[in-house]
């Protein structure tokens, strides 16, 4: 079950904590994976470390700065070129935060987060869908966040982008359904990564206290859910938001 | 039949998988050729690519038959 042999996947934000585990998991299921991110050297390191266990020829690196609209528009074609086959799976995982209370939030903090976390995923979905609709097959998995549903003080921009991603995914799912293309959202809770390492210790303790499963998530808690949504077996799941958050928010 | 008409017909046949004989000038993509709304958008995009023309949204909405498409593209090409 859940094999992805012969399928090409593009994962953005592949050098981040969650991203690299997603790459590892898709690759382990047999997929050819194109890693995208802004830092070429780090992407190559990730690819080399995963490839060292075998299947290095199924890993490709394709850097892109997603805050640049032209680069985002060109990424799917570039990834297909690298992989030498059309894209079957798109994982929009790249994201950044610019946390601050709204009254101190600058326009730049707002627009940068919205650009990278929402507009870029839309651009990638748009270019991936063109081919997927024609081929009558495809899986799009957008990595949102629990805060897109619950909100979070200090993250008006990030929560807005992630909530937007959920609404966008549902719309795309309706547009693409008749062609057998699924679009789903995965909403991680608080995962131990560089993004959450910056939170103050006291806030982290408080967060863990609100998680029934009693711990922060690990990147490896998210990746298997991506594999499921990417698989043929998930062919009747679309427009869904899969929450993987240790029970912190049961929605 | 003009070269443009031939090419339009060919794209419609390929994209919708319908018999060539059904692709008459008056054939409506949705009512006669079994297209859905996504097909019509994809057809317009295929025309844009094949003929290197840009078909804006409001014009695309009015292209509902094979003849509509041929007329529009011929007009663009003549301009």
Distance set, CA A202 to CA A196, A205, A224, B27 (Å) = 13, 5, 30, 69
Alpha-carbon gap, residue A25 to A53, rounded angstroms = 12
Residue A188, φ and ψ in degrees, nearest 5? -70, 150
**Catalytic residue (choose from A88, A117, A158, A219):** A158
Mean pLDDT (chain B, rounded):
93
pLDDT at A196: 80
pLDDT per residue over A110-137, tens digit each? 999 999 999 999 999 999 999 999 999 9
Alpha-carbon gap, residue A91 to A20, rounded angstroms = 12
Q: Count CB atoms within 10 A of the CB of residue A119.
A: 17
**Catalytic residue (choose from B36, B39, B58, B71):** B36
Sole residue written with tokens 């047999």: A30
pLDDT per residue over A159-178, tens digit each? 999 999 999 999 999 999 99
**Are A179 and B36 within 8 A, CB to CB?**
no
pLDDT of A157 above 70? yes
**Are B38 and A175 within 8 A, CB to CB?**
yes
The pLDDT > 90 percentage for chain A reads 93
What DSSP character marks residue A245? S
The pLDDT > 90 percentage for chain B reads 89
| Interface mutation target, options B15, B38, B42, chain A, most CBs of A under 10 Å | B38
pLDDT at A204: 86
**By the 8 A CB rule, do B38 and A179 touch?**
yes
**Which residues, numbered 8 to 67 in chain B, qualify as contacts with chain A under a Cβ-Cβ cut-off of 8 Å?**
36, 38, 42, 45
Q: Is B31 a residue of the active site?
A: no
Residues with Cβ within 8 Å of A185's Cβ and at least 6 positions away in sequence, in order, are A141, A142, A143, A144, A165, A166, A169, A240, A241, A242
CATH number at residue B12: 1.10.1200.10
**Are B36 and A178 within 8 A, CB to CB?**
yes
Residues β-bridged to residue A8: A32
Domain coverage including residue B12: 1-76
In angstroms, the separation between the Cα of residue B3 and the nearest Cα of chain A is 25
Structurally, chain B folds into a number of domains equal to 1
pLDDT at B32: 95
Residues with Cβ within 8 Å of A111's Cβ and at least 6 positions away in sequence, in order, are none
Distance set, CA A189 to CA A81, A86, A229 (Å) = 34, 32, 17
Model-wide pTM > 0.90: yes
Residue A90, φ and ψ in degrees, nearest 5? -115, 125
**DSSP sequence for B9-57:** HHHHHHHHT--GGG--TT-BTTTTT---HHHHHHHHHHHHHHHT----H
- The helix-helix angle for A120-135 and A69-83 (nearest 10°) equals 40
What is the pLDDT averaged over residues A71-80? 98
Strand order in the sheet with A8-11: A59-61, A32-35, A8-11, A89-92, A138-143, A181-188, A241-244
In angstroms, the separation between the Cα of residue A48 and the nearest Cα of chain B is 39
What is the pLDDT averaged over residues B24-41? 94
Alpha-carbon gap, residue B24 to A37, rounded angstroms = 49
Burial code (b: 16+ CB inside 10 Å, e: under 16) for A28-42 equals bbebbbbbbbbeeeb
């Amino acid at each position: 079950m859940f094999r992805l042999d012969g399928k090409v996947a593009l994962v953005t934000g592949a050098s981040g904590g969650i991203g690299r585990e997603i790459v590892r998991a898709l690759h382990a299921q047999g997929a050819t994976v194109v890693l995208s991110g802004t830092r070429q050297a780090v992407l190559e390191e990730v690819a080399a470390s995963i490839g060292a266990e075998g299947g290095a020829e199924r890993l490709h690196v394709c850097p892109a700065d997603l805050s640049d609209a032209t680069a985002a528009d060109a990424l799917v074609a570039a990834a297909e070129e690298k992989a030498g086959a059309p894209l079957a799976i798109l994982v929009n995982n790249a994201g950044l935060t610019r946390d601050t209370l709204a009254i101190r939030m600058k326009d730049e903090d707002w627009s940068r987060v919205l650009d990278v976390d929402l507009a870029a995923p839309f651009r990638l979905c748009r270019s991936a869908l063109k081919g997927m609709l024609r081929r009558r097959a495809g899986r799009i998995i957008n990595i949102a966040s629990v805060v897109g549903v619950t909100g979070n003080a200090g993250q008006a921009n990030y929560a807005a982008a992630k909530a937007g991603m959920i609404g966008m995914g549902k719309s795309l799912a309706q547009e693409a359904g008749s062609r057998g293309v699924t679009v789903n959202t995965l909403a991680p809770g608080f995962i131990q990564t560089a993004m959450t390492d910056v939170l103050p210790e006291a806030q982290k303790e408080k967060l863990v206290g609100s998680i029934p499963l009693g711990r922060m998530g690990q990147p490896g808690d998210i990746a298997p859910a991506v594999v499921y949504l990417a698989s043929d077996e998930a062919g009747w799941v679309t427009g869904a938001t899969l929450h993987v958050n240790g029970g912190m928010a049961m929605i | 039949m003009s070269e443009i008409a031939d090419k339009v017909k060919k794209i419609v046949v390929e994209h919708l998988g319908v018999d060539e004989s059904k692709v008459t000038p008056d054939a409506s993509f949705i009512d006669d050729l079994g297209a859905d709304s996504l097909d019509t958008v994809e057809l317009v995009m295929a025309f844009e690519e094949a003929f290197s023309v840009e078909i804006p949204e409001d014009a695309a909405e009015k292209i509902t038959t094979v003849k509509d498409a041929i007329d529009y593209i011929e007009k663009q090409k003549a301009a």
